[in-house]
């Protein structure tokens, strides 16, 4: 998707103008609202992963949990706008005491994907999810985050003991007939290559998953990831002229919006960027945006989409 070559980046980095005074950012229209994200547990999570771009954790209340009324209202407004699929994220969605009711709310109107680390999916919850998976008129997906093929790789990012706990949750889902999408953030660079990806396929096949489903994401250098590795360089910003028509249609923010208890945002990545907040409600977000955040650069250059 990117029009920026390695030569472009070198020139931009070396340019006399590559300083804190950035060129104007491209503006992107909302072509159609296909995808609605809801930050149902806000920034509350049972883990505090070192690469988390919104710094979620057990003590982060930057964004509160959404209420049933807030979720129902956002879904209803999304349906009016023609939303085709819903995503629940956090934080950790299964920390919400009313997550089952919220899942039913979305599945009454369209396909739903829940993003989770899988640790809180016990036998009872897995059985309930399996029943909804089999009975819903719309597709129902679970995305489980895992950041290594060994405890050493994963636990260095997600915390001690999480590798086995995450895979135990995956096993419970598989036992109920759900084949979750395993989402990998390529903090370990070697995992982004062909050999690294094959290691994930092998891991999942060994656990009895005949047709593994994997999604690989580049890390965003904001939140904790900025402290773990490094932040964006001053030249890593989109500028007017960087986007062609294909890129404008491909970028997720041309067809999605995010709603949290705190307001509406262009996408899931930017909810801790105060100047990315578009207003109190989804209606406030049905307008063009400026791609003036460093994270927009990663989406464009890496071809990232948060959608499954």
> Average pLDDT of the chain?
93
Q: For the chain, list the strands marked E by DSSP.
A: 27-28, 35-39, 85-89, 112-116, 140-145, 181-185, 213-217, 256-260, 263-265, 289-290
Give the per-residue pLDDT at 205: 96
What are the pLDDT digits (tens) for 283-302?
999 999 999 999 999 999 99
In the chain the domains, ranked by start, together with CATH numbers, are: 29-302 (3.20.20.70)
- Please tell me the distance from the alpha carbon of residue 32 to that of residue 252, in angstroms, as a whole number: 11
CB 151 within 8 A of CB 124: no
The residue to which tokens 């982060």 are assigned = 60
For the chain, residues with pLDDT lower than 50 are 6, 16
pTM of the full predicted structure? Answer: 0.93
Nearest Cα to 173, choosing from 197, 142, 200, 216? 142
Q: For 133-188, list the strands marked E by DSSP.
A: 140-145, 181-185
Burial class (CB in 10 A: 0-12, 13-18, 19+), 15: exposed
Give the per-residue pLDDT at 6: 45
Give the per-residue pLDDT at 178: 98
Q: What angle do CA 66, 68, 74 make, to 5 degrees?
A: 75
| Residues in contact with 53: Cβ distance below 8 Å, sequence separation at least 6, in sequence order | 219, 220, 222, 223, 224, 225, 269, 272, 295
């Amino acid at each position: 998707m990117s029009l920026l070559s390695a030569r472009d980046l070198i020139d931009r980095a070396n340019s006399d103008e590559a300083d804190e005074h950035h060129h104007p950012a491209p503006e992107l229209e909302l072509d159609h609202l296909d995808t609605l994200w809801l930050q149902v547990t806000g920034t509350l999570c049972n883990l505090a992963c070192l690469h988390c771009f919104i710094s979620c954790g057990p003590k982060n209340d930057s964004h509160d949990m959404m209420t049933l009324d807030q979720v129902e209202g956002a879904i209803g407004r999304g349906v009016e706008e023609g939303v085709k699929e819903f995503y629940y994220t956090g934080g950790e969605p299964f920390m919400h005491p009313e997550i089952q009711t919220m899942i039913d709310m979305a599945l009454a109107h369209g396909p739903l994907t829940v993003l989770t680390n899988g640790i809180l999916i016990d036998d009872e919850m897995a059985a309930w999810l399996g029943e909804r998976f089999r009975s819903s008129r719309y597709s129902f997906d679970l995305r489980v985050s895992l950041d290594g093929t060994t405890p050493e790789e994963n636990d260095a990012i997600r915390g001690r003991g999480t590798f086995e706990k995450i895979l135990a949750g995956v096993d419970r889902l598989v036992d109920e007939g759900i084949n979750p999408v395993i989402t990998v953030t390529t903090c370990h660079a070697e995992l982004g290559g062909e050999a690294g990806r094959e290691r994930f396929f092998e891991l999942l096949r060994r656990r009895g998953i005949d047709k593994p489903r994997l999604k690989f994401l580049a890390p965003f250098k904001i939140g904790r990831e900025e402290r773990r590795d490094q932040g964006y360089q001053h030249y890593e910003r989109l500028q007017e002229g960087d986007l062609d028509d294909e890129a404008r249609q491909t970028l997720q923010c041309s067809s999605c919006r995010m709603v949290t208890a705190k307001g509406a945002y262009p996408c899931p990545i930017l909810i801790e960027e105060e100047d990315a907040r578009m207003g109190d409600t989804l209606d406030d977000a049905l307008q063009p945006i400026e791609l003036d955040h460093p994270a927009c650069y990663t989406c464009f250059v890496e071809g990232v989409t948060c959608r499954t």
